[in-house]
A = this chain, B = another copy of it.
Amino acid sequence: MAAAREPRRDLAAMLVPLGRALTAAELPLLAEHGLSMWAYAVLLRLEAEPLRSQAALAESIGADKTRIIEVLTALESRGLISRTPDPADRRVRLLALTPEGSRVRDAAQSAIQSREDRLLAHYLPPTQRTPFLTALATLSALPPESLTDPDL
């Protein structure tokens, strides 16, 4: 038997439902800005500095590149992103956030994070909030292969 440890629930058993609930809480806030979750993920990922290639964008946000096409088309048509052929290789698209896109992204994120701040303030003591967020930021920044490494 492994060394005794304090009884606790599995990390995934705690993280998955929590993530799902917080995602559900985001949806109405995003809807207020006319955004789907995928659209919001795109806005979070892009910046004024152009990102090279839709395939790279899809990969970095965990989306299917064939499914992201219409999300980008809708965002572009609303003027929230720009999508231009790379002069160096006209197969490739350069993607960038527009000022309007920054504004919408910031407004949505502000609403979401204000709500999250109130949630954390309501349910966690101050001494736990910063370590919790720091640890969560650390773990979520790890590449997935570090997290699923079988030799860990």
Contact = CB atoms under 8 A, between A and B. Distances in A.
B28 A115 contact: no
A118 interface: yes
A66 interface: no
Nearest to A25: B148
Which secondary structure characterizes the binding site on chain A? Answer: helix
Q: How many copies of this chain sit in the oligomeric assembly?
A: 2
B136 A44 contact: no
A9 B140 contact: yes
A134 interface: yes
A79 B23 CA distance: 37
15 contacts: A10-B109, A12-B23, A14-B140, A15-B136, A16-B20, A18-B19, A18-B136, A18-B140, A18-B147, A25-B147, A122-B152, A123-B142, A123-B146, A128-B134, A128-B135
Q: Which 8 A-B pairs have the closest CB atoms?
A: A15-B19, A14-B140, A132-B135, A131-B131, A21-B147, A16-B19, A12-B22, A25-B148
